[in-house]
Amino acid sequence: MNIHGRLPHLLFLLALISAFETDFYKILGIANNATVPQITAAYRRLALIKHPDKNLNDPTAHLKFIELSQAYSTLIEKSFRHRYDTKDWQSSAEKHESKKSVGAAMYNQ
């Protein structure tokens, strides 16, 4: 399988890895106690600005938009948001090992 066939899978893995390293609240420009309407409003406002079609000269626009979408889809869903907010249950060593496993899985396919 060539790189183009793996691209959606790779983009998903990058988004997944970045979820553990990124502050979704900061991406959306909202407070940690933002309400669902505030989250939705922030996402819609930023989606209009950061959409890849509006940023044709930015080669990373697509990945940035994926990150924005990941932040929204995580924070808008109550159970996902709770899991995101309490992600510190893993130790730093466990997080590091988890990232290595995801990276190894990506290259061993």
Burial of 51 per CB tally in 10 Å (0-12, 13-18, 19+) = middle
pLDDT at 97 over 90: no
Report the alpha-carbon distance of residue 29 to residue 99 in Å, rounded.
26
pLDDT at 106 over 80: no
- pLDDT, one tens digit per residue, over 72-91 is 999 999 988 988 888 754 44
CATH no. of 3-107: 1.10.287.110
- pLDDT, one tens digit per residue, over 2-26 is 455 666 666 666 665 555 567 899 9
pLDDT at 71 over 90: yes
